[in-house]
Structure 1
């Protein structure tokens, strides 16, 4: 079910209720009377919750550059590169020191734009401050929780708080995996507690806050939900498993991942279903087709879904930039835009040759259904796509691309429009399977019957890949399997930061990021963290905010 009306309400609330001054954490109400009226009852809190759920959707939009915001965590790794030559792609893809700086727009936003298009840091802290607001107001007495009984009132209240804490934990997760130590804010910002002397709290302190938030969400969110605006506890359990792996708490990670895998409401897609069931295809790709995405449409693998509008309006226009980012600019090959080719792409990002090289030929994830390997031009000629390392050259419009994000309008006159309006899965059960395999492997449990190999094989089996043995399991094999399964979905930089593999694997498998192709220095050890945004450093006038090493 699409909740675009709710998102419209949400944006209105964000405009009316939160503003942003020059200080990155100075988020305060424009009108306290409005806020007090909004948070009188459950309906007001539901509207605020819908607003909060808008923030994660930013990751698949392009609020600041002509690519999905999440590309910052994908290119410049072992799995993805930038097939374009722009200052931000050089910085994030080639690690050129002159371009990967504390002033780059992806981090700071467009400071010259009067509309104030925010960068990634400000988006995430607006999210945190909005969550803090909801939590603070929910704890105040006198709210009509509309439950009809004290028990139901308490349940309604706690579920609202659980959503806010889940999203706050999600935002802090991005922040510490990107910047390391960051300011910790868990209170509603008001005129009375305004600060300009924030300090960077340690990663360990933020991890502890994330754990607290995710555990609360696990306790109070439902086991399962087909309402895309009512999130399930499996999301919290998934992120707890990942957090515990990062901290080396492998048995606890196993328990949380196992809770998701064993939840009877979720299962891997292993059979054809939905809108293209009777057309050539494979189960793996069925879950990416619009009309198959939502749990209510039969998608049992989706843990977290972003619904989008199919109406060309201000909201939907930036709701989904995945196809625009990842589908090649094939029109430059004299190929017409069409649904068959996914609609209009501009190919800002691309899959590395290394990823293409690690699939078996019979693997459905490498089939024509999953990877665009050729085009037919307007004059009937076949163009075979490139996948070799030697052809990883800027603006190679023949480069093969994923078909996970294919979508365009039914109207032929609109095939070439820029933006996509398809629903999208943000988090899949397959990801949790691989977290579980990692947790088991870290404890030496690699068996093919109930250990890491078993869960990896469940993923491989549904795509017709050859089963592995217990002896094949290593952390690098698990990372390889994550690449095969989750490429363009996974925020790969964060996974590699968490596992301590970013520098090693990027140098080994991405010759652009390593500096080999262009003769540059390439990725350096300090690039594990990105530069702290200059706009934040300058706004914090009451205390010196230190820059990350290597970027001074």
Structure 2
């Protein structure tokens, strides 16, 4: 079992519901589905509660309820459609050109992977609601940790010395939730700890969300713990830098402004914070990625543990789902031999990125034997290649503690992405050094034991887009990347089953944003449906 920041039922979810009890959940279209609540004043009698409540904010990224992996604290929303990492993976990866989910009777998956979604899609409601619950939890923690509240409770000086960093982390988690809302939906119900409970919330658009997230992350920098100095699983300065770098890289999409030089600057900040690439690419995706060489590369994980944080999150889904229908390769990756019977496969266009010089690249974990590359029928699980990137095995030859719920943390942010962002922002006119950018790209090739050295003439934006797919596939980045490159909507790049065509068809421009869920519109009249829906 992993040693880390204790994001478990005892130190996370009991408190998560205590906070939800006092949060403005009605205005956020979030209804607590649990009766294990404690009034705040009673909760904070124990000074250890402050750190425990902070753990609850992080717990919302991993867990969905108090009664096991199938429980949900969001009323009328299934656990499988609202686990933060899973719905993020679906909205950013399943909806693009890398992944196919075989079981299309699972709510919402058919519409996402065929680009047929509507405002009634349950996965979109799950993403919208889970992100807003993060906001509500952070707001509640901030309300309960003001100087006035701490004075009234006569909190000890030792605990009070920790509060500024705790509050900065809560604000960072709230900013991250707003960042994803800006990226996926272009809107959010906007509230902070300064708003009255149960007040009618304004809706913020992309420009307002961009400005808020940017200002928040800049303002809290001095209170955040230094990069790589916090407990594993908790955010630090580098996480704030990472969100800023990604915002600046995508600023032309979000606010129609060129911020590439800022992207380069914040990539530099992260790179100079002491991170290094894991010695083995696959260490980033193994059951001991909190202790093996990935600890040097991963900037922020979503924690997973086969005992204390059992959930149907992204790594559990990908490891069980990537066991083939005919291969029974589950014993190799630390789950049941048959896994989930071929639930996940890859689309042809992604598989082809490993042709030629990338065939023996360590990042190529495709299993192709006895399988055609094409998926002409999504229900035929014996077609299409499968992939074995994620594993519930350890770097030392062991396995996770459970054969379904994995120990593998999801690497939400890692250094390899920073190298790729630096190179792309440089090529887009953001400054920096061409030789430095080329060095970063070649370090990824070298780490993957690819003997082909990239030359300066080969360092193009098209190369970087493909390299991002090879390096970062199934890490919840692809939709965002394709939109930034102008290849998600329209017909200049089609992939298998794009727009529900077996060979892909053009998507209308409005699909670069998801619709605001109908249930959320009904709760807050200040939200407006995105154009085209």
Please confirm whether the aligned pair reaches a TM-score higher than 0.5, indicating the same fold: yes
Query: Per the alignment, do residues 140 and 92 of structure 1 end up closer, same or farther by CA in structure 2, a change over 3 Å counting?
Result: same
Out of 150, 173, 184, the position equivalent to 1:178 is 184
Q: Is 1:318 matched up with 2:311?
A: yes
The CA RMSD measured in Å over matched residues stands at 3.6
CA distance in 2, matches of 1:147, 1:463: 49
Q: Does the residue aligned with 1:339 lie in a helix, a strand or coil?
A: helix
Aligned residues, how many? 496
CA distance in 2, matches of 1:507, 1:327: 34
1:50-96: CA deviation from partner (whole Å, max 9, x where unpaired)? 0001122259x882349932212211213333334336223111123
Q: Is the 8 A contact 1:365 1:484 kept in 2?
A: no
CA distance in 1, matches of 2:281, 2:359: 7
CA distance in 1, matches of 2:489, 2:232: 37
CA distance in 1, matches of 2:355, 2:327: 31
Q: Does the residue aligned with 1:546 lie in a helix, a strand or coil?
A: coil
1:423-467: CA deviation from partner (whole Å, max 9, x where unpaired)? 3433211111111112212226586522x3232222122113323
Out of 516, 523, 531, the position equivalent to 1:532 is 516
Query: Per the alignment, do residues 121 and 287 of structure 1 end up closer, same or farther by CA in structure 2, a change over 3 Å counting?
Result: closer
Q: Is the 8 A contact 1:363 1:463 kept in 2?
A: no
- 1:303 deviates by 0.9
- 1:121 deviates by 1.2
- 1:5 deviates by 6.4
Q: Is the 8 A contact 2:19 2:137 kept in 1?
A: no
- 1:544 deviates by 5.5
Instruction: Tell me which residue corresponds to 2:118.
Output: 101
Instruction: Tell me which residue corresponds to 1:38.
Output: 43
Matches within 5 A, 1:326-405: 328=321, 330=323, 332-333=325-326, 335=328, 337-340=330-333, 343=336, 344-361=339-356, 363=358, 366-367=361-362, 370-373=364-367, 384-386=370-372, 388-389=373-374, 393-405=378-390
Q: TM-score normalised to the size of structure 1?
A: 0.79
- 1:473 deviates by 3.0
Instruction: Tell me which residue corresponds to 1:52.
Output: 57
Q: TM-score normalised to the size of structure 2?
A: 0.81
Instruction: Tell me which residue corresponds to 1:79.
Output: 98
Q: Is the 8 A contact 2:233 2:300 kept in 1?
A: no
Instruction: Tell me which residue corresponds to 1:111.
Output: none
CA distance in 1, matches of 2:19, 2:433: 54
Matches within 5 A, 1:207-226: 207-223=210-226, 224-225=228-229
Instruction: Tell me which residue corresponds to 1:243.
Output: 247
Out of 136, 156, 162, the position equivalent to 2:143 is 136
Query: Per the alignment, do residues 208 and 216 of structure 1 end up closer, same or farther by CA in structure 2, a change over 3 Å counting?
Result: same
Gap runs ≥5 in structure 2: 70-77, 252-257
CA distance in 2, matches of 1:186, 1:262: 32
Out of 507, 528, 532, the position equivalent to 1:546 is 528
Instruction: Tell me which residue corresponds to 1:294.
Output: 290
Query: Per the alignment, do residues 126 and 66 of structure 1 end up closer, same or farther by CA in structure 2, a change over 3 Å counting?
Result: closer
CA distance in 2, matches of 1:211, 1:102: 29
Residues 223-232 or 25-34, more deviating: 25-34
CA distance in 2, matches of 1:323, 1:31: 27
CA distance in 2, matches of 1:462, 1:529: 35
Out of 11, 14, 33, the position equivalent to 2:13 is 11
Query: Per the alignment, do residues 393 and 121 of structure 1 end up closer, same or farther by CA in structure 2, a change over 3 Å counting?
Result: closer
Q: Is the 8 A contact 1:244 1:250 kept in 2?
A: yes
1:226-269: CA deviation from partner (whole Å, max 9, x where unpaired)? 622432211111111111222221222111111111222x1012
1:357-405: CA deviation from partner (whole Å, max 9, x where unpaired)? 12255548855x851415xxxxxxxx5344x246674332353333232
